[in-house]
Amino acid sequence: MGLAIVYGIIKQHNGYINVYSELANDTTFKIYLSLIIAEAEMKTSTLPENVKGGLETILLAEDDNSLRDMISTVLKEFGYRVIEAKDGQEAVSKFQENQDAIHLVVLDIVMPKMSGKEAGDAIMKMRPHAMILFQSGYPADSMQHEGLPDGAINFLNKPVSLQEFLQKVRDILDK
């Protein structure tokens, strides 16, 4: 996970993170979270309920392997067909190969080789009305450096709940 995502998760749980680093020594991260003593609820499923899936094809570009695998698995469990890309450059290539079949593109903003903004711009040149959902684990003020393509209105800030993510996907596809 990127540090921005870890920071976001910790802050979401009212926690703190301290970093200790000295020249020629290791770096230490200390995470402080509130102690909660409660009996865990047993759930049969961690997947959200009351969220409508679909049969559409989604191109998912995410450079974090574990996050990409998790998002892809969830999308597939809700009926979607998923084409995965590990960076922006691969996303553009896979979009070009499958553009007639792709209904929605999900792009992480910060990726190697080609950013989500650059990939989004390239995809919009191929199909000006392509539906794109941008995501980032970085705070909004740091996004000014990477930016979003002009007119990009579909954005989710990570971390995001599965329910919120799936609902946003459905809302975009239903437009």
Exposed/middle/buried for residue 121 (C-beta within 10 Å: 0-12, 13-18, 19+): middle
pLDDT per residue of the chain (175 residues) written in tens, 0 to 9: 577 777 777 777 778 888 888 888 888 888 888 776 554 443 444 556 678 899 999 999 999 998 899 999 999 999 999 999 999 999 999 999 999 999 999 999 989 899 998 999 999 999 999 999 999 887 655 555 556 655 557 888 888 888 899 999 999 999 8
Q: Between 3.50.50.60, 3.40.50.2300, 3.20.20.70, 3.40.50.300, what CATH number should domain 57-173 receive?
A: 3.40.50.2300
Q: Residue 150, Cβ neighbours under 10 Å: how many?
A: 9
User: Could you identify the residue written with the tokens 């705070």?
Assistant: 139
DSSP state at residue 90: H
> So what's the pLDDT on residue 143?
53
Q: List Cα–Cα distances, 76 to 80, 100, 131, in angstroms.
A: 5, 19, 19
Q: What is residue 76's predicted lDDT score, i.e. its pLDDT?
A: 95
Output helix, strand, coil percentages for the chain, rounded to the nearest 5: 35, 20, 45
How confident is the model at residue 1, as a pLDDT? 56
Per-residue pLDDT at 44:
44
What is the pLDDT, as a whole number, of residue 47? 58
pLDDT value of position 16 = 82
Question: What one-letter code names the amino acid at 44?
Answer: T
Helix/strand/coil for 60: strand
Start-to-end CA distance of the chain, whole Å, equals 32
What residue segments make up the domains of the chain, in order of their start? 3-32, 57-173
Residue 148 pLDDT: 62
